[in-house]
Each structure stands twice: as C-alpha cells, then as structure tokens.
Amino acid sequence: MSYTAENVVQSSTWSATTLFYALLLPAMILWYTYWRMSRRRFYELAAKLDGPPGLPLLGNALEFTGGSADIFRNLVTKSYNFDDSGIVKIWIGPRLIIFIYDPRDVEVILSSHVHIDKADDYKFFKPWLGNGLLISTGQKWRSHRKLIAPTFHLNVLKSFIDLFNANSKAVVEKLKKETSNFDCHDYMSECTVEILLETAMGVSKNTQGESGFEYAMAVMKMCDILHLRHTKIWLRPEFLFNFTQYAKNQEKLLGVIHGLTKKVIKKRKEEYKSGKKSSLMNEINATTNGADDTLPMKTTSVDGLSFGQSSGLKDDLDVDDNDVGQKKRLAFLDLLLESSQNGVVLSDEEIKEQVDTIMFEGHDTTAAGSSFFLSMMGIHQDIQDKVIEELDQIFGDSDRPVTFQDTLEMKYLERCLMETLRLYPPVPVIGRNLKQDITLASCNKKIPAGATVVVATYKLHRRPDIYPNPNKFNPDNFLPERSADRHYYAFVPFSAGPRSCVGRKYAMLKLKIILATILRNFRVYSDLKEEDFQLQADIILKRAEGFKIKLAPRKRAAKAF
Ligand code: HEM
C-alpha cells in the first residue's frame, strides 16, 4: 500500500468524521439530560395536571393531523374524558399546552394584568399585522391600548349608524339574486370589510372603487393562508413555508393590503396638514354635540344591555365619558393621525400596523358571527318567528333605517346573538404564554411559567353545570335573571379583562343593524341541522362545508329602504 499524500488526507478526514459522530451521540444525550434536569420543576408540575397519554418526544402532536374539521372534532371528543377536572394538558414535542375551561381559572388568566403575552401561534400574523394591538405586549401594548380604546366609545360608534345602515341595505340588494342554497359567509365577509374601510379608515364608498374590492379579497385570502399555517404542521417553520406557493401568494397579498393602508394614511396625512377635517370627524362632532339625543353624552353603558359580555364585567370600553375628553372622541385613523402629529406617540409604521390589525380583527370575527346567526335562524324557525315579531313591532311596515334607539329595543334579537356567540364563539380559543407560574382557582394546582395556557371558550360555553342542556340553542339562557346567576367569566366570546376585544361594542351594534335589516327583508331557511355542521377552528370558528342557507323574500316585509 502506498501512502500518497492524497490517501493520508482522505484517511485523516475519515477519522475526524468518525470521531465527530462518535462524540455527537453522547454529547446529545448529555445536553438532553441537562436540559431535562434544568426543567425538572416544569415537568414535575406538568405531571400533576391531567391529560391524554402521548408518545415519547412527539407528545400528542399526532392528534393534529388530518383536515381542520377532523382535528377539531377529535380534540373536542377526547376532551370529554377530562370534563371533571376542567383542564386538559397536552404536549406538542417539548411544548406544554394547558386548555382551561372552568370560569374560575379563566378569570385568573383573563383578569390578570401580568399574563398578557400572546401565545407563539400568533407569530404568523407578524408579516401582516407587525406589532399591532393584537400581538404587541408590555409597555407598547399598554400605551397603544390606552390610546385606541376611546375610539370605540359608544358616542363615536353612534356616528357610524348611517354607514352601518347603508352597507346593510347594500348587502340586502346583493342577496336578492340568491334564489337557492348558497354560502352566506362570502356576503357577510365582503360587507364587514367594506364597513371597516369606511368607519376605521375613512375610505368612502365612492373612493373605494376597485382598490377597495381588491383589498377585501386580499384580506380574505390572507386569512385563508394563516388558517392553513395553523393546522398544517409542515407549513409552520418559516424555512419550509418560504419554499411553497403560499409564501409567494402571501407576498403578493400583503403588497395589496399594505399598499392600500399606506395610500390611505398618506392621503389623510396630507389632508391633516392642509387643515382639512375628515367627514367622519365632522359627523362625530355633530353626533356628540347632541344631534342624536337618544343617549346622554356621558353614557357608555345602557341598562340591561351588556354589549356582548356578562353585565357584571367592566373593561376600558366602559369608562365614563368624563375620562374620554372631547378631543379623544375621534374615529380610529383620525385619532392615530392626530396623536402622531402632536407628539411622538406613534410612527407611520405603527399607525399602519394598528390599521391592519383592526381590519383583520374586525372582519373575520364579525363575518363568522353573523353567518352562524343566520344559520341558527334557518334551523330554528320558531325562534326566527319571535325575532321577526319583535322587528315588526319596532318597525311595523316602515322601511326606515335602524336608529340607535331601535337597537336598544331588539332585546330578543340580542339574546339570539349572544346565544349564537355562546354556542359558536368566532374566537374559539385564546392563547397566552405564561411568564410566571399560576395557581388554578378550581383545584389549587400550579401551571408552570413557560407553558402556554389556552382558554377553551368553545368548551367553557358548553359546560352542562353552567348551561343546562348546553348544546341546545336556547336564547333564554340570556334572560337577565339567568345571566345574573352565572359566573362572570362563564361567557367570554370577546375575551374579558384588560386584553378584551376592543371592538366589542362596535361589533354588537353593527351586527344588530346588519342582521335586523336582513331579517326585515328575508326569511331564512336551512336544509342542514346543527348535527350536520362540520366545525373547524383554525383561528376563527367556521363551518367547513360553508354557511349554507336559503332566503325567501318576506311577504309583509318592508322593501330595502
Ligand atoms: C363578533 C365579533 C368579534 C369577536 C367575537 C371578537 C373577539 C375577540 C377576542 C376573543 C379577542 C381576544 C383575542 C386574544 O386575546 O387572543 C379580541 C381581540 C381584539 N379584537 Fe375583537 N372580536 C370581534 C370583533 C372585533 C371588531 C369589530 C374589532 C375592531 C373593529 C375588533 C378588534 C379587536 C382588537 C384590536 C383586539 C386586540 C385587543 C388587545 O389585545 O388589546 N374585534 N377580539
């Protein structure tokens, strides 16, 4: 054998490689042992919590395979085994996730000013929403929330009523062409995006044109991509996602979405510089100066009306008007622009992030809520009769637009809406990352810092000990005397506490006007029953088969005004 220089190099490379692999395995075992030991307390506390058995290393990850509807059904069915304990622990690889659905435990999380960090799953929103209100945390979230919450004050919302009416009328006109079974979600989605464009961004219908429609479509398609990334495990890592066609589509869609947001902000900024007040600001000032006296100026809440949450709960949307000075009563984008002109509170980028966040949060949630409501009406004809009776009492044969006072009188419709949000909460889970241990109020057990806690709203809302016959659609669950007996945190479709939904009152008011307008014009039917629903919970709860209903013009109905 001849020892050429080439052979010597080859054999030393080989022995170095062998040595590397020979050391790799023990190094990995050592690292893993150290890692497990450093998390010993984490594992000890986790072991005390109930949950289904999992596989080594993978944990319960295999439960998340299959289609969205299969995953949802599987998780809900398996969770029944843990109904007595009120919590379910699962592992996805090294990640510990605890689902909670006892109102006492839900209160510990949602009422806290400490546990406000969103779960890692929200990171897919980053390219779209940046550090907007939904995702941000700490001081940034606190200061922006303080700034934004007053723009959802009831007196600001009242000034949107004409726009809500005009868009409701427009959707009724579009629905007239549907003569057989169809999916109402597309209509609800388009309508909510258009309303948001007008109310939050001040883009009027006349100027929306093609760009408004293109934007609405892009928002809807972006939601689809995000939904996919939440359910398809292989689409989660950035480096794999970036290889797919979805990543390319996402880039294009974000171009459209961010393009319009930037354009609108730029235009409004120029108007501000030239001293031109927006038409929305003028309307709000007219309204808050007493043009509409259905509600005293100071009022933020109305007796007997909870605007979507237990009436005993209060959040920063319920602050007294005295604390929300006249200047702060501006429409969303106007307020952000004014703040940025007057100081350093918000940069252009931050304004863009907040506008994008409102457009996302305000659209898909409301579209799902209204589509579930229409489905319920179609299935429960006797209940629809009562809603129609109430509307006929309020409006008679008149085809006049809905006023704020009318919405206060829609008590039965409101109960149906609340019952819809109970059975089909558009946001079926709320995830938080724990930075500190918490002790569960229901059982005194601890959840360790580092775990993800998921408030399982869907399950909480169907607890048999809180809602008798919990799977039955029964609007009487929201009769005042029944609600009064319940734990405040037993009904949280809009979350609750300091990180509650900032659009809660906006959503309830808008939904009442859209849904009342539809039911003044049509009777809803459904061929399917609730047992036929294939629910999927990606981010927003939906019917996988689509929200199929049928409409028939109402005989006595007022024409769309
Ligand atoms: C039926 C309709 C709606 C439902 C069920 C709903 C539900 C929720 C829920 C459960 C959260 C908490 C999410 C979490 O912590 O992970 C939330 C947050 C939020 N919602 Fe809504 N929402 C609705 C409509 C709206 C509307 C119309 C807007 C705006 C116009 C809006 C804006 C927001 C914002 C900005 C947040 C983040 C608040 C923060 O973290 O401080 N939502 N919503």
Answer positive or negative: Cα dihedral of 168, 173, 176, 182: negative
For residue 369 and ligand 1, the question of a CB distance below 6 A is answered with yes
Judge whether 37 lies within some domain.
Answer: no
For residue 350 and ligand 1, the question of a CB distance below 6 A is answered with no
Compute, in angstroms, the gap from residue 503 CA to the centroid of ligand 1.
6
Judge whether 273 lies within some domain.
Answer: yes
CB 117 within 8 A of CB 506: no
CB 429 within 8 A of CB 76: no
Ligand 1 pocket mutation pick from 111, 194, 313, 365 by most atoms within 8 angstroms of CB: 365
Kindly list the averaged pLDDT for each block of 10 residues, start to end, along the chain of length 561.
60 76 86 83 92 88 81 88 88 92 96 91 90 91 88 85 94 94 92 86 65 76 84 85 95 92 83 64 49 43 61 69 50 76 73 89 92 98 98 94 95 97 96 94 94 96 95 96 91 95 94 97 96 88 94 70 47
The model's pLDDT over 504-552, given as tens digits with 9 standing for 90+, comes to 999 999 999 999 999 999 999 999 999 999 998 877 899 999 999 999 9
- Count other C-beta atoms under 10 Å from residue 342's C-beta: 9
Judge whether 243 lies within some domain.
Answer: yes
Contacts of 53 (CB under 8 A, 6+ apart): none
Phi-psi region of 546 (alpha: psi -120 to 50; beta: other; left: phi over 0): left
For residue 495 and ligand 1, the question of a CB distance below 6 A is answered with yes
Contacts of 500 (CB under 8 A, 6+ apart): 110, 309, 315, 317, 494
CB 436 within 8 A of CB 81: no
Q: Which atom of ligand 1 is nearest to the CA of 425?
A: 5
Compute, in angstroms, the gap from residue 496 CA to the centroid of ligand 1.
10
pLDDT at site 3: 56
For residue 502 and ligand 1, the question of a CB distance below 6 A is answered with yes
- In this structure, what CATH number is given to the domain that contains residue 505? 1.10.630.10
User: 315: helix, coil or strand?
Assistant: coil
Judge whether 10 lies within some domain.
Answer: no
**Residue whose entry in the numeric block shows the structure tokens 């200047």:** 327
pLDDT at site 421: 98
Judge whether 534 lies within some domain.
Answer: yes
DSSP 87: E
Judge whether 17 lies within some domain.
Answer: no
The pair of three-digit structure tokens given for residue 411, joined into one six-digit string: 């008590």
Residue 548, domain extent? 45-553
pLDDT at site 64: 79
**% of the chain residues with pLDDT over 90:** 50
Answer positive or negative: Cα dihedral of 347, 140, 160, 513: positive
Question: Rounded to the nearest 5°, which phi and psi values hold at 83?
Answer: -60, -30
- Long-range contacts: 82-86, Cβ < 8 Å, 24+? 82/50, 82/51, 85/50, 85/443, 86/442, 86/443
- Count other C-beta atoms under 10 Å from residue 114's C-beta: 11
Nearest to 504, CA basis, from 490, 512, 493, 515: 493
Identity of the residue numbered 480: P
User: 392: helix, coil or strand?
Assistant: helix
Q: Which residues are annotated as a binding site for heme?
A: 501
For residue 365 and ligand 1, the question of a CB distance below 6 A is answered with yes
Q: Which atom of ligand 1 is nearest to the CA of 427?
A: 10
Nearest to 230, CA basis, from 545, 536, 546, 435: 536
Question: Rounded to the nearest 5°, which phi and psi values hold at 427?
Answer: -105, 95
What's the domain count of the chain? 1
Atom 26 of ligand 1: nearest residue by CA position = 362
Judge whether 12 lies within some domain.
Answer: no
For residue 216 and ligand 1, the question of a CB distance below 6 A is answered with no
For residue 515 and ligand 1, the question of a CB distance below 6 A is answered with no
Q: Is the complex ipTM higher than 0.90?
A: yes
pTM of the model: 0.88
Judge whether 8 lies within some domain.
Answer: no
